[in-house]
Amino acid sequence: MTRLGDQLPLGRRSLLAGATGALGIAALPATSASAAVPTTAARGSANWPDPQPYGRADPRPQLWPRKDNSFVLDLELRPRDEELGRVWMRDTYVNCFVVDGRPLYVATGTTNAEGLPGPGPYNDGIFVWTARSLKGPWKLADTKKIRPKADKGKVWSPEFVTENTAGRTVVAPWQEWWEDDGQFGRRGNVWAPEVHYFQGKWYIVACMGDHSKKVGTFTLISEGGVEGPYRVAQGNLEKPYGENVGGPDWIDPAVYFHIDGGMYTEGKKAWLILHNHLYARYTDDLENIETIAEFKETPWGVEPYLEGAYVFKYGKKYHLLLAAWDWTSLDADGSPRYSYEPDQDGRKQYQYDTVVAVSDKLEGPYSERYTAGVGIGHNNFFVDHTGQLWGTFFLNPAGGYYSNAARVDDAAVSGVVKLEYTGDRLYVKRP
């Protein structure tokens, strides 16, 4: 999140939005980046009572993206996108910044390399789109002056390693593509990028993924505009941020660091937000981070794997966003049970939700979490230049509802959904 002052063709099918029907590309107001105090954004309804006990999920369709409250960005297609008819994207990120007195919207996310169905075992870097309105037109960032022969809009990639010089690192050794023992061939992918504009300079925070030489979060610093050219921050020349933390059983724990990092800025200070309940102050030059600390949260009784952490300040409150899988099963009376505390028996992945906790301070303590949006997990919230609140979504095809064969072609999208503010909570705009 960055303060405001600092600053489609759909797929082969129309997007489904649960029981409420298809998502449209309705003409909705343009968007802008994070204002700290509500102005033109009208308050919505009161808070809903939370399902009990704490840890239960709220699956009501009123919290889904719908035709009346959401749409998919009409992003300029790359040659690889033409067959699908839209950009395949996970971890969709959109924001708006004031640059030279005008709003500038940016969009990015996790994309796949040409010919691959997803972003692993490798992809080919980070693409950025820009627009003057949330409705577009959305154009790939003009990178052709920097790299005439590279794909338009590609602002960073492991393939740019040839641009390294003695005093400037574009791709660190641990970020390069590599060849394994024949299981996958080429490996090395980048996940969940965020673009930020802070004190007149552009930054990208992203993560090298599970198939990389080292897995973890890093910062890129632009030496020009939003299109770059970018270089790696000094603190990431040898490794990702933090220390080894271990990962899935099939990954060498010696290469696994803190993943899915993002940036939060306020005044002249910036923080790195990490997916595993951690944060750290950036050094003043944003070349490195200081001591990593842990948020003061209110955990569920059985704490599941949570990711996609993002801090958004609104209404003088800090809103900590987390992505959580809603698991379905049956209660003792045979009724459906929806919970972020997964059952051990009979559980099924249902939706990849955004849950939010609220605090008066960045470090916490944070309130109990609540369901802010169904199926919109691993996203960010932002405010457009008119004051309207928005959240992003991508509809996760990796499991649950959108992995179904009837819906998977409508997943992995660059979607935005209207939000409403109740005075202390942020929800998907309810009917």
Residue 161 lies in a domain: yes
| Domain presence at residue 82 | yes
Rg of the chain over CA atoms, in angstroms?
20
Residue type present at position 74: D
Q: What is the pLDDT of residue 236?
A: 98
DSSP 375: S
Contact at 8 Å (CB) between 367 and 352?
no
Q: What is the mean pLDDT of each run of 10 residues along the chain (431 residues)?
A: 34 30 32 39 77 96 97 97 96 97 98 93 97 97 97 98 97 96 92 98 97 97 98 98 90 93 97 96 98 98 94 97 96 92 86 98 98 98 97 97 95 98 96 92
Query: What pLDDT is recorded for position 362?
Result: 98
Of 176, 53, 140, the closest CA to residue 414 belongs to: 140
Q: Is 21 part of any domain? A: no
Residue 339 lies in a domain: yes
Q: What's residue 332's pLDDT? A: 87
pLDDT, residue 416, reads 98
At position 366, the amino acid (one-letter code) is Y
Q: For residue 84, what is the DSSP state?
A: T
Residue 43 belongs to a domain: no
Total count of domains within the chain: 1
Residue 272, domain extent = 61-428
Instruction: Give the pLDDT of residue 13.
Output: 29
d(CA 192, CA 7): 22
Whether 255 contacts 214, CB under 8 Å: yes
Asked whether residue 270 is assigned to any structural domain, the reply reads: yes
Residue 44 confidence (pLDDT): 63
Residue 405's domain is classified under what CATH number? Answer: 2.115.10.20
- Within-domain flag for 30: no
Q: Is residue 152 part of a domain?
A: yes
